[in-house]
Homo-oligomer: A and B are copies of this chain.
Amino acid sequence: MLADMSPPRHKQGFCVWFTGLSGAGKSVTAEALIALLLERGRQVTLLDGDVVRTHLSKGLGFSRADRDTNIHRIGFVASEIVRHGGAVVCAAVSPYRAARDHCRSLFGEGRFLEVFVDTPLEVCEQRDTKGLYAKARRGELPEFTGVSDPYERPVAPELTITTTDAAPEENARRILALAGERGFVAA
């Protein structure tokens, strides 16, 4: 019998993947989650779609092909980190199901936790934190998810959260509990 040399599960890698409309609350929930993970001694890499577009994906636009490239790229980087035992939190609109499923396929069984931030379009548009919905309605953003480009809702996400009736910390705690159930966070 071979000795099991794998590190304890709570030192193994996993990825929390936030998907949802612009303004849904992905980044704010991601940050709350990262704070909780850091408190528990886990280093975390945040791959935020907007930030990634300033370096990893500089030059990419919002066509379907460019969006797919952007999402695949985030998935590739995240999966390499997870392969080395790291924890990664990705927050990106990632509107297409096929691209998200491709990313899921890059990870070992159970290591990809898809969290659907299910905030209604009306609410996101009312928040319009970055003024993007107003621009899109004026026709200045020809491929804007929810307005002029589709958002394909997840079919079987690991978790669905709402941000209209729960604070970011509350949602972050639910995600942490899920990661804990899977053994990725020490009890």
A1-20 interface code vs B (CB 8 A; 1 in, 0 out): 00001000000010000000
Q: How many copies does the complex hold?
A: 2
Known: A60-B59, A72-B55. A45 touches B77 (CB 8 A): no
By the criterion of a CB under 8 Å from any partner CB, how many residues of chain A are at the interface?
22
Which residues of B sit under 8 angstroms from A5, Cβ to Cβ?
Answer: 41
Is A163 in contact with chain B by the CB < 8 A criterion?
no
Which residues of B sit under 8 angstroms from A80, Cβ to Cβ?
Answer: 45, 77, 81, 86
State the majority secondary structure of interface residues on A.
Answer: loop
Q: Give the Cβ gap from A58 to chain B, nearest Cβ, in Å.
A: 6
Q: Give the Cβ gap from A53 to chain B, nearest Cβ, in Å.
A: 12
Q: Which residue of B lies closest to A83 (CB)?
A: B43
13 A-B interface contacts by CB (under 8 A)? A13-B84, A45-B83, A55-B76, A56-B56, A56-B76, A59-B60, A59-B69, A80-B86, A81-B84, A83-B86, A84-B84, A84-B87, A85-B86
